[in-house]
Structure 1
Amino acid sequence: MQLSQITPVEKLLNTKEIAFYHDILSRPLVAEITKAEVTHYRQKVIEQGIAIDTNELIHTIVLALKKQSSQRLQRVINATGIIVHTNLGRSPIPQTIWQEASETVCGYSNLEFNLNNGKRGNRMGMLSKILSTYFGGESNILVNNNAAAMHLILKTFAQGKEVIVSRGEQVQIGGGFRIPEILEESGAVLRDVGTTNITTLDDYLKAINENTAMVLVVHQSNYYIEGFSQRVDINLLAAKLPEHVMLVVDQGSGNQIAGIPGEPTVANYLKAGVDLVCLSGDKMVGGPQAGIILGKQQFIEPLSKHPMMRVFRPGKETYALLEKLLIHRLNHDCAANNRIETLITQPIEWHQERAQQIASIAPEKLPLVATKFLIGGGTTPRAQYDTWAIAILSDESPSSLIKRLRNHNPPIIGVVQQDQVLIYPITLFDEELTIVKEFLSELI
């Protein structure tokens, strides 16, 4: 047995198969993985007495490198039928917006510099005016996500005080995030009222005492209650609360599209007289991850001065992207159209034609399936829209087939429903139709 016959790591790193991963993972990381695999292979040779096979060793190293590379942040093709997919980066940012913002963020900027007087400036800059114009509200502030927005509001106005929340709104969203826990973490005291399905105005009013800081209305995120249920009209609640009790809405989705079932717009809440509304910048707004807090100036100002604001404030990229996006939206520029609004208003014939573009390569193997698509992202659980998906008929098991889709470059993320793999063209970008079509052609 000649262990010295095992190809040295440095030489392995220069082989074509392994060197391919230098640009993907970095040479130092490739070297680290290669060394580990060589060590394992050497041990295997000693224990099993096998003959040294360099090709086998290279193959083993490449498999390890491929596994590592699948964990890097990369583009995927969303074929799930969920527009705002939490696991797939939520809302895509339009290329035009990204390119325009890059001119600001790739150099120096006036992020905290007032060009009019040459002194330190406000980080919000013109974005504050843009947010007020787009959503409404007297004033606003930006933090790094909506959970941070909720925490900052509670920390600022309700630490050691009671916050009234309907039992039907004590939700848990993805990743184990629970409203009661963030209340506890902020130092606020939860006072739950009503029942799971019914909360009345009297439930709120009877729970108020001298230690009540606010009534908190929470977006139900990824579920809804049907049948015998009741929620209080926000206009009535705003009108009836005592002056010392704030009304805060965790609107969550950032919806500004009228007419979506069970999904009031941000503007509607502000017009109702809510003191503060917080929402996500990367769901239905379609921008970067951010927590946007809008509302009355008297409440925004204490938030901006709270010590935790330093912890929660976003970076320059977030400010630049959101500002550019909303300017385009206010100008009704098609380069920044709300993708959700565009897709939910398409006629069913458009959906069918889109699916047939792909299925036409082999209609008998790729039958169309009438189904529903979702906005997703914990935004509109009640809203489902008609569409057509493509089923892949194959001798392979659904689990094997869905894995082959994921292993494609770029990965294609489909879904398994009723024991068959479905591709939803509704969530594909136009240029991705060809990629999916070519993959399915090879597969079939």
Structure 2
Amino acid sequence: MVNHEVLRKLPSIDTLLRTDLLTKLIGEHGKTVVIGAARAELDKIRRQILQTGAMSNQGLVLHVDDISQNIANQIRVRLRPTLQPIINATGVIIHTNLGRALLSRRAKIAMHEAASAYSNLEYDLEAGRRGSRYIHAESLLCQLTGAESAVVVNNNAAALVLCLSTLAKGHEVLISRSQLVEIGGGFRIPEIMHQSGAKLVEVGSTNRTYLHDYETHLNPSISTLILRVHHSNFKIIGFTHEPGIAELAALGKKHGIIVMDDLGSGTLLDTTPFGLAHEPTIQESIHAGVDIVTASGDKLLGGPQAGLIMGQKAIIAKLRKHPLIRAFRVDKITLAALQATLLAYLENKAITEVPVWQMIALDIETINLRARYWQKQCSQIGLHAEVVDAYSTVGGGSLPGQQLPTKALAIETNSPDTFTKNLRLNTPPVIACIENNCVMLDPRTVLAEQDDDLLRAVRKIEHPY
């Protein structure tokens, strides 16, 4: 049985709003926010009373000041953005779950300027009339890749859908069985092709596909496109074969068929000087004679999320006229960041400016020095940690199986799971890995200016007070 005297002891909303703490919060956040939190807190207490059948106030928070503090805590939680900056200590450079590529300082400045003032997004300053938003990246993409024309959409999946819908709806698209991939989030090439209205024609086998497999299935009256999907997020090894992109381009020209290359991760720089396997570049595909190339903007390019489409001028013109182009179009913030990123490549400054390439190019001695510094700081609080040999990865569906030698801090603890959870719940959150029952922190993906925050998070776990 519920003692109604307990319920009557609850303060009213008006009483709570008159407390110094909530009066201050009303001034900071507005009355609506505070009243909403106050009602939620009182409702919670009432439910506790009703559920337990409380005959007394034992174990219940009934004092006005205590309830006000709980309301203040609730307001802080409610107003805290769910999207938070974090410290990535995993060693995965392009971490899909952690936002993929970090943007350069130049790109961030460009985004801020585009967001802070009106711009000529779709206005031709010289002619004094409406212009096209796509010019802001087209010229740079053409200069960097050798393409005749280019257009940008909001991601590479959208680029693929737009191209297939425009160029192959109701017609056959030839693709090797080994390339019927899932590109992430459960989206698969056959399903994307179905949605676009194109008819999938599988050629070859899972591990071996030859040029004659394409030629055998070509029907010039209904086949309009050959699609090559680069294995950017997996590898097939052993008894394998696939024709090169130049061979496919030549086959397409022979039969008057469009050849499209979906590179996925899409890089403008050669990856081999950094000890990595060769990743096909966008310009290589263009120079090989491919008609249309698609790639992501926020993977190895190191820019914002975007789908880059480059190729023949006549084909790009068709894409720009398709109704989906508006649904897939990018905003001014994205275009500003992309343009700034591409300018770094044009000026041969990508390795020194673009964070993805800064991390890939980071030398082992610099990484070792930072790891040693972290170790020294940990030893001062009695935490046992060692600097060990480890491997970073590029990530983001790029260069599967490729690793970069690194030095990591291995922290010994009785409960690595609890330790990493506490790191995640820190402000800012720190994301680490567990290996050989140790918590692993890789300096390669931790920005230098984040060192103090990372070490503060570690100290807080060992010495919370």
Query: Which of the numbers 247, 261, 266 marks the counterpart of 1:236?
Result: 247
Q: Distance in 1 between matches of 2:20 and 2:344?
A: 46
Q: Corresponding residue for 2:406?
A: 387
Relative to structure 1, the CA distance from residue 224 to residue 407 in structure 2 (aligned partners, 3 Å threshold; closer, same or farther) is same
Deviation string 1:268-294 (CA, Å, 9 cap, x unpaired) is 111101111111111111111111100
Q: Corresponding residue for 1:157?
A: 167
Q: Distance in 1 between matches of 2:351 and 2:8?
A: 61
Cα drift, residue 100 of structure 1 = 3.2
Q: Corresponding residue for 1:297?
A: 313
Q: Corresponding residue for 1:264?
A: 280
Query: Which of the numbers 327, 337, 341 marks the counterpart of 2:353?
Result: 337
Relative to structure 1, the CA distance from residue 206 to residue 221 in structure 2 (aligned partners, 3 Å threshold; closer, same or farther) is same
TM-score (norm 2): 0.87
Deviation string 1:119-173 (CA, Å, 9 cap, x unpaired) is 1112122421111112321100011111110000000011111111111111113
RMSD value, Cα: 2.7
The answer on 1:432 being equivalent to 2:432 is no
Deviation string 1:393-441 (CA, Å, 9 cap, x unpaired) is 123x222111100111111111223333211111000111122123223
Q: Distance in 1 between matches of 2:432 and 2:22?
A: 30
Q: Corresponding residue for 1:411?
A: 429
Cα drift, residue 67 of structure 1 = 6.0
> Greater CA deviation, 287-296 or 356-365?
356-365
Contact 1:167 1:196 in 2 (8 A): yes
The answer on 1:180 being equivalent to 2:184 is no
Query: Which of the numbers 210, 224, 240 marks the counterpart of 1:213?
Result: 224
Relative to structure 1, the CA distance from residue 272 to residue 401 in structure 2 (aligned partners, 3 Å threshold; closer, same or farther) is same
Contact 2:303 2:337 in 1 (8 A): yes
Q: Distance in 2 between matches of 1:14 and 1:389?
A: 53
**Superposed counterparts of 1:14-413, under 5 Å:** 28=32, 31-48=35-52, 49=54, 50-51=56-57, 52-54=60-62, 57=67, 72-209=82-219, 210-241=221-252, 242-258=254-270, 259=272, 260-333=276-349, 337-363=353-379, 365-395=384-414, 397-413=415-431
Partner SS, residue 166 of structure 2: helix
Cα drift, residue 2 of structure 1 = 3.3
Structure 2 unaligned segments of length 5 or more: list them: none
Cα drift, residue 58 of structure 1 = 5.8
> Greater CA deviation, 379-388 or 147-156?
379-388
TM-score (norm 1): 0.91
4+ aligned runs moved over 6 Å, structure 1 = 13-27
Q: Distance in 1 between matches of 2:30 and 2:195?
A: 40
Amino acid at match of 2:61: D
Relative to structure 1, the CA distance from residue 348 to residue 138 in structure 2 (aligned partners, 3 Å threshold; closer, same or farther) is same
Contact 2:107 2:336 in 1 (8 A): no
Partner SS, residue 172 of structure 1: coil
Q: Distance in 2 between matches of 1:293 and 1:75?
A: 30
Q: Distance in 2 between matches of 1:23 and 1:245?
A: 67
> Greater CA deviation, 340-349 or 365-374?
340-349
Deviation string 1:88-136 (CA, Å, 9 cap, x unpaired) is 1111112332223422332111111111111111212242111111232
Relative to structure 1, the CA distance from residue 79 to residue 62 in structure 2 (aligned partners, 3 Å threshold; closer, same or farther) is farther
Cα drift, residue 62 of structure 1 = 6.5
Report the count of equivalent residues.
443
Q: Distance in 1 between matches of 2:25 and 2:95?
A: 29
Partner SS, residue 2 of structure 1: helix
Q: Corresponding residue for 1:5?
A: 9
Deviation string 1:337-389 (CA, Å, 9 cap, x unpaired) is 23333333333222222211211123561112311111111111132111111
Cα drift, residue 47 of structure 1 = 3.3
Of structures 1 and 2, the larger Rg is shown by 2
Partner SS, residue 360 of structure 1: helix
Relative to structure 1, the CA distance from residue 75 to residue 28 in structure 2 (aligned partners, 3 Å threshold; closer, same or farther) is farther
Partner SS, residue 390 of structure 2: strand
Query: Identity rate of aligned residues, in percent?
Result: 35
Relative to structure 1, the CA distance from residue 21 to residue 437 in structure 2 (aligned partners, 3 Å threshold; closer, same or farther) is farther
Relative to structure 1, the CA distance from residue 68 to residue 220 in structure 2 (aligned partners, 3 Å threshold; closer, same or farther) is farther
Amino acid at match of 2:266: G
Deviation string 1:46-85 (CA, Å, 9 cap, x unpaired) is 3321414247756765676666567611111111111111
